[in-house]
Structure 1
Amino acid sequence: MQAPDFAAVRTEFALPSGFPPEVLAEAERAAAAPAGERADATEIPLVTIDPPGSKDLDQAVGITRTAGGFTVHYAIADLGAVVAPGGALDAEVRRRGQTMYLPDGSVPLHPPVLSENAASLLPDGPRPAVLWRITLDESGESTAVDVRRALVRSVARLDYAGVQADFDAGRPHPAIAALAELGPLRRALAVARGAIELELPEQEVVPDGAGGWTVRVRRRTPVEDWNAEISLLTGMSAARLMLDAGIGILRTLPAPESDAVVELRRVALGLGVAWPEGASAAEILAGLKRDTEPRTLAVRRAATALLRGASYASFGNGVAAPADPGHGGVGAPYAHVTAPLRRLVDRFGSEVALAVAAGAEVPEWILEALPTLPELMSASDSVAGSVDRACLDRTEAAVLAGRVGEEFEVAVLRAEPGEIFLADPPVLARCDGDLKAGTTARVRLTEADPATGKVRFALPG
């Protein structure tokens, strides 16, 4: 099998291969600097939950069941305390925008001395962090929010599979035992808000065990869904602080257009998927099974039309907040603050939230940066999406390259333009011919070019 060429992807998108010397020197100095005065929260038990082997640990979480509901402590890596505004490091991370992930290694936003060491929430002692404390009632609704700089201590470095196994065995880590109750409550609230969760099969490139690469469908565990709800809760809390103060930067996505919802309902009913009168798109999607049954895949693929127009909106200092500040995928206003090691905008969002919560003036360097961030982040998101797609396309093509001319049984996601999903190996591709969404079809592989990533199928005949 011809191996996918990820080096060519790095070249195509001009991804940097290292950091300039002056940036590395500044990062070294920042890593060695004292944490500064901050609250001592090391008595709060927190854990990190990340993929195995991860060192850039942005978040540590602790959840307590209380008499009136829940208390969430969410510690976030404090990049605002180590990246000096206007310095060489600041300029470099603004140029990069975010960490780019490729199968053979990442292109980090920050030098590893920070992202994998000094600024990461590793479980090796007290670490500086931005600590959110969110109080929730019995239903899981937020009732109070506080955020401040603190010293925290992660007591365990966990991964999703291990945490899921512990919950399944009835022995979850005490710091997150309440996650199994709070996570589903928050998910139910999200559906009630109208949050759109597509849950299409998530393809990923992984080693094939023989020195090469292959594609598989990543299976999300309930723990991942629950943990994601805590991250979303924090981002929603940050957005509320910003909107109340009239300053900040939001991740925005227009609510689904009514015509798009009507069309989705038409598609769903046409495929035999029940849509009771008065049910929302969020409720219908949440009720679908997580499988690769053709009808389910076709409905989920059609639902992508609900989520169009993602952007960033900065406001304050004379600029009004957007008329529609919401995020259609979340069902509420939302701000990025939980991944500052990997995403530029989160550092600025955290600084705004800290200032607002303390009743202090937002620093001038934040005011100057806010208007520039939407364009920087939109451009970075575009590159990251293209890099992800290029790596996946080239791997799909490499896996199938020796099978041109073979026929496969596939699920049809869309009829026009033709789009199909092959389950083994998991490949999403275009297909020529007269197709019907939500059905299975027998198709022939007509092209698989690892150099370009182009894969195409056609109906036989």
Structure 2
Amino acid sequence: MPRRHVQLHARPPQEAQGEAVDVLVRRGLDDLRVELGVPDAFPPHVIAEAEAAAAGMPTGERADATDIPFVTIDPEGSKDLDQAVHIERRDGGFRVRYAIADVAAWVAPGGAIDDEARERVETLYAPDGRTPLHPPLLSEGVASLLPDQVTPALLWTIDLDADGAPVDVDVRRASVQSRAQLTYTGAQAALDDGTADETLQLLREVGILREAAEEARGGITLPTPEQVVEQGADGVWTLGSRATLPVEEWNAQISLLTGMCAARLMLDGGIGIVRTLPDADPRDVERLRLSAHALGVPWPEGATPGDVIRRLDAADPAHAALLTDATSLLRGAAYVAFDGELPTFTMHAAIAAPYAHTTAPLRRLVDRFVGETCLALCADRPVPDWVRDALPELPGLMASGDKHAAEFERGCLDLVEAALLTGREGEVFDGAIVDVRTDRDTGVVQLRDPAVRGRIEGVSLPLGEDVRVRLTQASVAQRKVLFELAQADSASTASSTAPNLDRR
């Protein structure tokens, strides 16, 4: 499930209830971590095991693929680099090589790092930093596909036909050496000005083919909007969004392709763990349509959620908010493990194909086990006992981790949305009611500007209708925003008081 990344940028403190808002936000994030049991450090025995592992290069049979000019493409400042890519033409089609960090080469089954990873399950992201799955000595060091270091990897080789469809798949252990750590902005600029190398040019070509195949299947890719909460020189907090660049989507298509190939390998081999998702609940589709209306996002007659989502621009805060709301269509996602008899349901509705998580082992627990399963199947060897023994418990661990991550994400969003509105109690905003309880006296209102939502209390709330609402409470400490219906003749209007949003 895509996560909504929110960053906090503060200027000189804006005073609110006697304390600077940015101080309240950071204190609130610390309180949230304590409340949800988010660890602030790795235990000494885990660090000790990581130091011992990092002291030497993993042994074992491994192909030498250091001659392949891989590159990584990630957000600015990333150090936990899971994937490196190289693409070339072959026989009227393409050969995609995708190197995935070989975490199992550094993590002993049943050891301290393994036990800690099973507790953490996945990396958590907050506006002021992140809580990693593995010790940074590994995830940002020897196990990361950093440029110019020889790194153990799982080397996926996926041959595609001229339409971008896979015709052959192989995965094996290898040593790789990335040539460059590219950023999304840098890669996009190189493509736009014609200076991109062959791999980037072919990434665009293959990415476009894979996007067309996804649309033909009826799949939906949800971009991950990155939003920034900033304090202007006037002391007003605003919500801006970073544009999702085309190269990000093309890069994501390579990851999706690999996950689909991994699922096919495991289903054909009769062992593994796949990510499943049923069709969206019609009630969630209707709630999303109401949210689109509230945010002023067009939803043409007869359009499907996929039709609307493909036209969204994450640089627009309203569109970014709708992309986040669209994750409600992913309710019911699950991990399904099998060993022998295949599960009755194996589809992922958003991808419109069987799918498995395998390309982010530095940041997500299950990927390490999927990678090892696919390695064994491609080599026609038995799946390792430590993987087979873990399969029954992995769905439960991942479900718990996903729930924990969602609670943490929601808490962070609630907190920064309260920060956006701190000090503006009594102001009136335009919005729409996007959800109500059966008693119709409490519900959720989606504001147009700023693009936040909050709880509303009133009598006979008009579901789906445009409303004007008054902010009655915005508490960073309580992570709470509360509204009430406002009278139409109120002197304070959203159009005169709402901040201008960055429409980069």
TM-score (norm: length of structure 1): 0.88
Q: Secondary structure at the match of 2:401?
A: helix
**Percentage of identical aligned residues:** 51
Moved more, 218-227 or 377-386: 218-227
1:402 is aligned with what amino acid? Answer: G
Specify the code of the residue in structure 2 equivalent to 1:325: T
Separation of aligned partners in 1, 2:321 and 2:405: 26
Find the residue that maps to 2:88 and give its secondary structure.
Answer: strand
Q: Is the 8 A contact 1:298 1:413 kept in 2?
A: no
Instruction: Say yes or no: does 1:15 pair with 2:38.
Output: yes
Distance in 2 (alpha carbons) for counterparts of 1:415 and 1:292: 25
2:452 pairs with 403, 427, 434, which one?
A: 427
What is the alpha-carbon distance in structure 2 between the residues aligned to residue 248 and residue 116 of structure 1? 28
**CA drift at 1:183:** 1.0
Aligned to 1:40: 64
- Where does 1:4-403 land on structure 2 (aligned, <5 Å)? 4=25, 5-36=28-59, 37-197=61-221, 202=225, 204-205=227-228, 208=231, 215-256=239-280, 273-275=300-302, 281=304, 284-285=307-308, 288-290=311-313, 306-316=329-339, 318=340, 320-403=341-424
Which deviates more, 31-40 or 421-430? 421-430
1:195: how far off?
Answer: 1.3
Which SS does the other structure have where 1:326 is aligned?
Answer: coil
Contact 2:471 2:484 survives alignment (8 Å): yes
Distance in 2 between the 1:162 and 1:123 partners?
A: 16
| Post-superposition offset of 1:393 | 1.0
Structure 2 stretches lacking a partner, 5+ long: 1-13, 15-20, 438-442, 488-504
The secondary structure found in structure 1 opposite 2:50 is helix
Question: Aligned pairs, how many?
Answer: 451
More displaced, 358-367 or 392-401? 392-401
Per-residue displacement from partner, 1:287-306 (whole Å, max 9, x unpaired)? 54437999989997886664
Give the Cα–Cα distance (whole angstroms) in 2 for the partners of residues 17 and 212 of structure 1.
31
Q: 1:110 to 1:207 in 2, by over 3 A?
A: farther
Counterpart secondary structure, 1:327:
coil
User: CA 1:241 to 1:155, structure 2 compared with 1: closer, same or farther past 3 Å?
Assistant: same
Superposed CA RMSD in Å reads: 3.2
User: For residues 262 and 82 of structure 1, do their structure 2 counterparts lie closer, same or farther at Cα, with a shift above 3 Å needed?
Assistant: closer
Please give the per-residue CA displacement for 1:169-223, whole angstroms capped at 9, x wherever unaligned: 2222432211111112111111221213456x83635565889986433431111
Which letter maps to 2:181? R
In structure 2, the residue corresponding to 1:402 is in which secondary structure? coil
C-alpha contact (below 8 Å) 1:285/1:300 kept by paired residues? no
Which residue is equivalent to 1:460?
486
- TM-score by length of structure 2 reads 0.81
Q: One-letter code of the match for 1:195? A: G
Distance of 2:290 and 2:478 partners within structure 1 = 33
- Inter-partner Cα distance in structure 1 for 2:97 and 2:196: 17
Q: Cα distance, 1:121 vs. partner? A: 0.3
* Residue 447 (structure 1) aligned with residue 468 (structure 2): no
2:501: which partner in 1? none
Q: Give me the whole-angstrom Cα distance separating, in 2, the residues matched to 1:350 and 1:263.
A: 38
Moved more, 288-297 or 399-408: 288-297
Task: Output one character per residue of 1:78-109: Cα deviation in whole Å (capped at 9) or x when no partner.
Answer: 01111001111111111111111122222111
Contact 1:408–1:444 at 8 Å: present in 2 too?
yes
Match of 1:408 in 2: 429
TM-fit CA distance, 1:55 = 0.6
Contact kept, 8 Å, 2:242 with 2:314, in 1: the verdict is no
How much does 1:22 deviate? Answer: 1.5
Contact 1:254 1:310 in 2 (8 A): yes
Residue 392 of structure 2 aligns to a residue whose secondary structure is helix
Distance 2:130 2:138 in 1: 15
